Amino acid sequence: MFNEINEGGLNRILSQRLGMQGSAAAPACAPELFPTLNLENDRPEWGWLKGEMLAANRVTRAAVAGQFSMAQLYLPSNANAICVVTMVNNWTPNALGLSRGVGISAGLGGWVAASVASNPRDFRWPGGRTQAIIEVNANVAAPTTFGRFARIFGNAGIVDYQQPVVIVPGTSLIFQSDGVNEPLDFNVAWYERPAVPGELG
């Protein structure tokens, strides 16, 4: 929405500061600058209009003797979508590591789909509409990753990580136990939307 009041104020400020005379200062200094009003364009209930799906899951993996427990939120390589994780909280007393997975299996075999039908947080969407898939695994070796970027200490359900993590097709967010013989029990929330042309590189 074009805001003539803001444009007039900006023109007056620029004219005074720069000593400009004559025509409006804002278009002359930066023709691409258009003062606008931001009318709450990020309200979650409006995501429906953009095809944005809100989803969440509780993920569990029992401890396995001598093995690391792990899970991943994986976006298949043929998905034309962007997945943004918004929250992870850890329910176990053990620490939980977050990292970017290498390929579909993060360098290991044995991944099993834990919940293809992800739970919607916008009840206008039916369950199972997201393209992101949660898979679980256990292995004697830690998963192959591009490096751990966060470590969440176990503290019984307090929200532990609220920085956005962007998952693109063919990549995954790995959740890994800190040591062997430790379970996984965490919540993860995300939103998913169609990718726009040029967004995936």
pLDDT, residue 32, reads 53
Owning domain of residue 80: 44-194
CA distances 92 to 78, 79, 114, 158, 190, Å, are 34, 32, 18, 11, 21
d(CA 179, CA 191): 30
Do 26 and 95 sit in the same domain of this protein? no
Long-range (24+ apart) CB contacts under 8 A made by 37-43 are: 37/1, 37/3, 37/6, 39/1
Any domain includes 200: no
Structural domains of the chain, count: 2
Tell me the CATH number at 76: 2.60.120
Per the listing, tokens 């393209």 go with: 131
Do 104 and 151 sit in the same domain of this protein? yes
| pLDDT by position in tens, the chain (length 201) | 345 545 655 666 666 666 666 666 655 555 555 555 555 567 888 888 888 899 999 999 999 999 999 999 998 888 889 999 999 999 888 899 999 987 655 445 677 777 555 788 888 887 667 788 888 888 888 887 888 888 888 766 566 888 999 999 988 999 999 889 999 999 999 999 999 888 887
Question: In the chain, how many H helices and how many E strands?
Answer: 2, 12
Is residue 145 within a helix (H) or strand (E), and if so which, with residue range?
strand 145-152
Do 126 and 185 sit in the same domain of this protein? yes
Do 153 and 170 sit in the same domain of this protein? yes
Do 109 and 60 sit in the same domain of this protein? yes
Do 115 and 129 sit in the same domain of this protein? yes
